[in-house]
Amino acid sequence: MGFLRIILALSVVIGHSDHSFGLPGLNTTLAVRSFYVVSGFYMAMVLSTKYNGKPYYVFIKSRYLRIFPLYLAVLLLTLVYGCVTWAIIGSVQWPLAGWANTLTRLDDLSIVYYALANVFIFGQDVLGFFHVSENGGLVFDYLNRLSNSSLGGYMLVPQAWTLGLELAFYLVAPLFVAGSSIVILGVILGSCLLRFVALPAWGVEANAFTYRFFPFEIAFFGCGALAYKLYARYRILDKGRTFHVVAVLALAPLFLAFDWNIPDLTRYAALALAIPSLFLLTKNSRLDRFVGELSYPIYISHILVLYAITQYTQVGYELPGVLVTLALSLLLYLAVERRVETWRGRVVAGTNRRFPSAKGLAAAAVCALAIVAVLLTGKALLESKHLSQSAAMVDYDFIKDTPRNMILIGFEPPENNASSAWRWGLGEKSEILFSLPKATNCNLVFQFFPVADGQTVSVYFNDLLLETFRLRKNDAIYRQYALPAKKSGNVVRFVYDDWNGRVVRYIPEDSRPLAVNFNKFELTF
């Protein structure tokens, strides 16, 4: 089973790479769901043997301690990598960019959810169906309508959503996988009915959940549990080694053929049927067990490796990503997982508690509160800094003055005479940059005159083109726009295709690159 697991893990690495070396592998959906089948097999086995008669809490604690320590090690490595990259490059990059750039725009509840999911894993699969709206709150968005939002990138180990789904399975596995085959079939049938009948009948696009929705994916865990029932039958019947070798050789091509156009359902069925024989053939192999132990470190560390290679090299990162991931995974196994596994065995063997201890719960609560407190404090400090640099939400007249906490680029200072006042916009563009205490609506009002016949002026707000004007010499352009201003990073931009002195000096006595003359220019809230 170990070589099967490492093939699945490496397939995910290859699937997330740039395919620059053409390495073969299963598609990522097939690989991940196959992991679900393998997990279902193992959980049915341990619940029927090792944990048979043990309290529910003992099983949950054991499985969580199997996943969490290595995840935490990779999470800390990811944070260190982000800080080092920030120091080297001089600007915040992955994996900290989402948090550093938009923390003040998240509401407190979103911060709590993302922080706790990042640290404790639970719920990462569910958060995949949410996006953060422009007001900073979580919005259920399984159709990914907000996938291009400026708010996102908060999961530091993004592939760990599968661990959240795995933990969800652990929570319910004791309720059915060690039961009869009829019960397991009932769970599989219920999952399929929900996916293919019930939700579509209610107008829900079930396919939009892909392979991330636990009520759908429990069917694959259930197939693994059924595979264990077949394994138990094989042990009773004592089929012999030859039978199992033939079974694996016959079924393996149906599952592992990378280029054959084999339906996924056939592949999953071949996998489930092959697992019992494969396990019987390899369960006593120390090499197979060692290779299998590398599959989890490979999976949980590969995104960090791939990002590092792309940020610091210009080479294709498929083969280097596989090799570096293997090396890092071996280090993680030797330095973390092997040691933790010994400790986990002692912890689990020494308890038959039905509930967590008060001390343990208190420690977890203190840890959670500390994490949330650090982030909320950071948000408060950044918010204070943001407010000190934000423009007040009052009415501004740019013809009269240059407001505090607004940056004007490509504008001359206000000018006037006895009868009028004006301000020149300079080629090739004029910009006003500002942030606000909060997102709100504003009104942009202006009137300007061109300096040249045939001049083109384009007006943008936050990179959205509002209008393009093709002007004659004596045109006067007056416009008023109602616009949604963001909390930070607002830009009003005028782009000119011609100006004084670019080719022709339209105002011979003036050497400045004058583009348009504003005699009205206001921003109101």
Domain assignments of the chain as residue spans, ordered by start: 31-95+156-287+343-353, 399-524
pLDDT in tens, 427-480: 999 999 999 998 899 999 999 999 999 999 999 999 999 999 999 988 999 999
Residue 482 has pLDDT above 90, yes or no: yes
Residue 144: per-residue pLDDT: 83
Residue 111: per-residue pLDDT: 95
Question: Token pair for residue 440?
Answer: 């709100």
pLDDT in tens, 277-287: 999 999 999 99
Residue 515 has pLDDT above 70, yes or no: yes
Residue 29 CB neighbour total at 10 angstroms:
13
Residue 146 has pLDDT above 80, yes or no: no
**Residues 84, 362: Cα–Cα separation, whole Å:** 33
Angle of the 56-89 helix axis to the 318-332 helix axis, nearest 10:
130
Q: Which residue has the tokens 């399975």?
A: 169
Main-chain phi, psi angles of 392, to 5 degrees? -65, 145
Residue 149: per-residue pLDDT: 65
Residues paired with residue 48 on neighbouring β-strands, in sequence order: none
* CA 428 remoteness from chain centre: 38
Question: Which of 53-62, 136-145, 493-502 has the lowest average pLDDT?
Answer: 136-145
Residue 357: per-residue pLDDT: 87
Question: Token pair for residue 392?
Answer: 């007040």
Residue 238: per-residue pLDDT: 80
pLDDT in tens, 391-427: 999 999 999 988 989 999 999 999 999 899 999 999 9
The whole-model pTM stands at 0.84
Give the side-chain half-sphere CA count within 13 A for 506. 16
CB-based contact 410:430 (threshold 8 Å): yes
Q: Which residue has the tokens 């893990």?
A: 9
Grouping H, G, I as helix, E, B as strand and the rest as coil, residue 205 is coil
Residue 133: per-residue pLDDT: 85
Contacts of range 130-137, beta carbons closer than 8 Å, 24 or more positions apart? 132/106, 134/105, 134/439, 134/486, 135/107, 135/439, 136/105, 136/106, 136/107, 136/110, 137/107, 137/109, 137/110
Q: Using 50, 70 and 90 to split pLDDT, how confident is the model at 150?
A: low
pLDDT in tens, 224-245: 999 999 999 888 778 789 999 9
Residue 40: per-residue pLDDT: 97
Q: Using 50, 70 and 90 to split pLDDT, how confident is the model at 342?
A: confident
Residue 57: per-residue pLDDT: 92
**Residues 1, 253: Cα–Cα separation, whole Å:** 16
Q: Can you list the positions of beta strands (E) in 226-373?
A: none
Residue 106 has pLDDT above 70, yes or no: yes
**Residues 368, 181: Cα–Cα separation, whole Å:** 40
- Topology of domain 399-524, per CATH? Jelly Rolls (2.60.120)
Residue 169 has pLDDT above 90, yes or no: yes
Residues paired with residue 423 on neighbouring β-strands, in sequence order: 518
* CA 388 remoteness from chain centre: 31
pLDDT in tens, 37-76: 999 999 999 999 999 988 999 999 999 999 999 999 999 9
Residue 148 has pLDDT above 70, yes or no: no
**Residues 29, 266: Cα–Cα separation, whole Å:** 14
Q: What is the mean pLDDT of the chain?
A: 93
Residue 474: per-residue pLDDT: 86
CB-based contact 424:514 (threshold 8 Å): yes
Residue 416: per-residue pLDDT: 94
pLDDT in tens, 190-199: 999 999 999 9
SS (H, E, C) 13-32: HHHCCCCCCCCCCCCHHHHH
Residue 33: per-residue pLDDT: 97
pLDDT in tens, 72-89: 999 999 999 999 999 999
Q: What percent of the chain has pLDDT over 90?
A: 80
Residue 160 has pLDDT above 80, yes or no: yes
Quick one: 221 exposed, middle or buried, by C-beta within 10 A (0-12, 13-18, 19+)?
buried
Amino acid at 31: A
What average pLDDT does this structure show over 242-268? 91
